[in-house]
């Protein structure tokens, strides 16, 4: 997966970040005209997260630290081919085949009892020991677990086909356009 660091503005007060320039036009477009955003008079370069917390006037500054800039990930055609080959080489995955009821194991029972006894913090050690013994004398409880199996060939094919359809590699021209529009050097 390739990536580019994009233009980012952040608030030193709360850590909020955005990737669009904090102009009045963008404040109006993304915040002031949004009925779900409760502040209707956000100013240019003002942090919207702080404004929502009634801390008005906190500025957004252009981020110069590359480690703090937002990152846009993308896949080129070569990476796409490699990823598809890896998907196809991957064996069947485990899938849930419903649920089943079974008795809890001795280990599960012991853990459950210890958790229950820990909740009895206002009892003496002797009373806790008695409670522990009483709980151990009870039969094992039924627990619900997922029954797992290897996926069938048609399920594996459907999973891989879905993954392929969701993977959209970018051409060199598209990557160059993204870099020109968003990359922050």
Same domain, 82 and 19: no
Q: What is the pLDDT of residue 128?
A: 93
Same domain, 65 and 117: no
The Cβ-side half-sphere exposure at 142, using a 13 Å CA radius, reads 4
Total domains in the chain come to: 3
Same domain, 70 and 9: yes
- Burial (CB count <10 Å: 0-12, 13-18, 19+), residue 162: exposed
Same domain, 54 and 86: no
Query: Which of 77-81, 128-132, 151-155 has the weakest average pLDDT?
Result: 77-81
Q: What range does the domain containing 159 cover?
A: 77-93+151-169
pLDDT digits (tens, 9 = 90+) for 64-73: 998 899 999 8
Same domain, 61 and 139: no
Question: Above 90 in pLDDT, residue 63?
Answer: yes
Q: What is the pTM of this model?
A: 0.53
Question: Above 80 in pLDDT, residue 39?
Answer: yes
Same domain, 143 and 88: no
């Amino acid at each position: 997966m390739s990536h580019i660091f994009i233009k980012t503005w952040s608030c030193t007060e709360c850590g909020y970040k955005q990737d669009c320039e904090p102009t009045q036009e963008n404040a109006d477009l993304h915040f002031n005209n949004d009925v779900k955003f409760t502040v209707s008079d956000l100013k240019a370069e003002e942090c919207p997260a702080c404004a929502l917390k009634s801390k008005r006037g906190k500025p957004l500054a252009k981020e110069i630290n590359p480690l703090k800039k937002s990152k846009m990930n993308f896949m080129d055609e070569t990476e796409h081919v490699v990823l598809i080959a890896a998907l196809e080489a991957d064996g069947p995955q485990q899938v849930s085949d419903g649920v089943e009821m079974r008795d809890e194991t001795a280990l599960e029972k012991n853990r459950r009892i210890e958790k229950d006894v820990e909740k009895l913090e206002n009892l003496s050690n002797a009373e806790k020991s008695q409670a522990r013994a009483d709980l151990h004398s009870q039969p094992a409880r039924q627990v619900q677990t997922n029954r797992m199996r290897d996926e069938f060939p048609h399920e594996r094919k459907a999973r891989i086909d879905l993954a392929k359809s969701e993977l959209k590699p970018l051409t060199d021209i598209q990557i160059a356009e993204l870099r020109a529009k968003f990359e922050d050097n």
